[in-house]
Amino acid sequence: MDMRNYPAEPFRIKSVEVVKMINREEREEVLEKAGYNTFLIDSEDCYIDLLTDSGTNAMSDDQWAGLMKGDEAYAGSKNFKHLEKTVEDVFGFPYLIPTHQGRGAENILSRIAIKPGQYVPGNMYFTTTRYHQETNGGIFVDIIRDEAHDATLDIPFKGDIDLNKLENLINEKGAENIAYVCLAVTVNLAGGQPVSMANMKAVRELTEKHGIKVFYDCTRFAENAYFIKEQEEGYADKTIAEIVKEMFSYADGATMSGKKDGIVNMGGFLALRDEEMFSEARELVVVYEGMPSYGGMTGRDMEAFAIGLKESLQFEYIQHRVLQVRYLGERLKEAGVPIVEPIGGHAVFLDARRFCPHLDQEEFPAQALAANLYLESGVRSMERGIISAGRDVNTGENHKPKLETVRLTIPRRVYTYRHMDLVADSVIKLYEHKEDIKGLKFVYEPKQLRFFTARFEEI
Ligand SMILES: *Cc1c(COP(=O)(O)O)cnc(C)c1O
């Protein structure tokens, strides 16, 4: 590994949070109490917390200063105006519905854009997104390219939509039976894989012909833009801001979780191009989120969010962000640990099928691996496999995703390269005695989004 390929942190540390590492016996106790579910472990008991990059970001001094400018008026807050203008500047959408976080926006979009029985094609699913689509009578169809389901294939833009799958679906079901196309940048569950500009453009051309709308899940838009700049022909000399603007010129709107590339701890929005849809969304936001000028966020939240959106476009920031993740992945690869390739934008995904070949998928290898990594070193990660995929709403059978992974998700601007080394060393050590990892079985299985609160015991 040549550290010269990895830029040092483009920030100074102004405030620190002290963490402690509890010993192995204590970790065993914690894990048992948490039912082997890393979601149920207390933050205090984690040494390095890679559960998620959602809302775990470190804000800049500008953002903290922005909190002091919170205008907490019930209606017409100036921070809303700032956020609205920023979203239009960055993405080009004139209409903004603020929401408490991404899923609030998904709820509203699904309610206004899906008629029961309509299909909602997407480039792989995301848990809360699919939940809202299905609850509103939509039928989710995965139209991501096949290669995305193969964890070993190292090719660029694995998040792309397979245009043939989309075209076949339109021909088979009829354009009127497609609610809209949901295009995520980047694709979280495929391993943080980006979508190419060429693909976004082609999806736009195809759907336009049939009068079908396209909504992006723009949660990690800046990371996606970085991959385009780095890897797609014709974009090396464009700024991240220019790339983002072009990406969203091919969309009718977007749902956003500000907790990711908004570099804040809470917030989200639904942004739209169509005035009629905007009126409908405004009627719903008051029911589910709050007034159309705050939607579940405080004024200060909206101010920090507006500032964070602009910061995410800074090249030095986003380059460090993506390359720090890559550094962790490359260290694991070098040691022969099986990971999803290529390394994505926000996380390194351990391939639990190859990590634990002695476990059947019904013994929840990824869940077991995440639990054992915590035992090994106090590093908290998350299962993204059969548990997250849930059960088929009609048959009640477990969805069995090809990708059975453990996600090591890197919070933005929080950890250093030395922390990445510690994580890599613990995963490598665990890999050396992987046969000791035992399978798990449910002792409690919730009906919806079971991964959050399920409990297990060792088989
Ligand atoms: C986090 C996330 C969401 C949901 O956003 P929340 O703010 O957690 O409600 C939607 N889509 C993707 C891809 C996400 O990563």
**If you measure from the C-alpha of residue 182 to the centroid of ligand 1, how many angstroms do you get, rounded to a whole number?**
13
Q: Is ligand 1 within 6 A of the CB of residue 268?
A: yes
Question: Quick one: pLDDT at residue 290?
Answer: 94
The closest residue, in CA terms, to atom 4 on ligand 1 is 102
Q: Is ligand 1 within 6 A of the CB of residue 110?
A: no
**If you measure from the C-alpha of residue 429 to the centroid of ligand 1, how many angstroms do you get, rounded to a whole number?**
32
Counting every residue, how long is the chain?
459
Q: Indicate if 62-311 has the same CATH topology as 3-53+314-458.
A: no
Q: Read off the tokens for 209.
A: 């012909």
> Given 74, 237, 395, 447, which residue is catalytic?
74
- Long-range contacts for 144-151 (Cβ within 8 Å, ≥24 apart)? 144/187, 144/190, 148/123, 148/124, 148/187, 148/190, 148/193, 149/190, 149/401, 149/402, 149/403, 150/402, 151/191, 151/338, 151/339, 151/340, 151/341, 151/349, 151/351, 151/353, 151/354, 151/402, 151/403, 151/405
Q: DSSP labels for 13-24?
A: -----------H
Q: Is ligand 1 within 6 A of the CB of residue 333?
A: no
Q: What is the CATH number of domain 62-311?
A: 3.40.640.10
pTM (two decimals)? 0.95
Q: Is ligand 1 within 6 A of the CB of residue 101?
A: yes
For Cα atoms 113, 118, 121, give the angle at the middle one, nearest 5 degrees: 85
Question: Quick one: pLDDT at residue 393?
Answer: 83
86 is catalytic: no
**If you measure from the C-alpha of residue 28 to the centroid of ligand 1, how many angstroms do you get, rounded to a whole number?**
31
**If you measure from the C-alpha of residue 106 to the centroid of ligand 1, how many angstroms do you get, rounded to a whole number?**
9
Question: Quick one: pLDDT at residue 189?
Answer: 84
245 is catalytic: no
d(CA 125, CA 381): 20
The upper half-sphere exposure of residue 370, i.e. CA atoms within 13 Å in the direction of its Cβ, equals 34
442 is catalytic: no
pLDDT averaged per 10 residues, the chain (length 459)? 90 95 96 97 97 97 98 94 98 98 98 98 93 96 95 94 98 98 94 96 98 98 98 98 98 98 98 98 96 96 98 98 98 97 96 96 97 97 93 90 94 97 98 97 92 95
> Given 384, 407, 412, 450, which residue is catalytic?
384
**If you measure from the C-alpha of residue 127 to the centroid of ligand 1, how many angstroms do you get, rounded to a whole number?**
8
> Given 38, 56, 127, 409, which residue is catalytic?
127
**If you measure from the C-alpha of residue 234 to the centroid of ligand 1, how many angstroms do you get, rounded to a whole number?**
30
Contact 250, 200 (CB under 8 A): yes
- Pairing of β 214-217 and β 253-257: parallel
Q: Is ligand 1 within 6 A of the CB of residue 130?
A: no
Contact 256, 97 (CB under 8 A): no
CATH topology of domain 3-53+314-458: Aspartate Aminotransferase, domain 1 (3.90.1150)
Domain edges within the chain? 3-53+314-458, 62-311
125 is catalytic: no
Reference 96, options 321, 247, 241, 274; nearest CA is 274
Reference 134, options 122, 152, 149, 117; nearest CA is 117
Contact 422, 377 (CB under 8 A): yes
217 is catalytic: yes
74 is catalytic: yes
Q: Is ligand 1 within 6 A of the CB of residue 344?
A: no
Question: Quick one: pLDDT at residue 127?
Answer: 87
Dihedral of the alpha carbons of 160, 144, 412, 93, in degrees to the nearest 10: 70
Peptide bond into 401 cis (omega under 30): no
Question: Quick one: pLDDT at residue 281?
Answer: 98
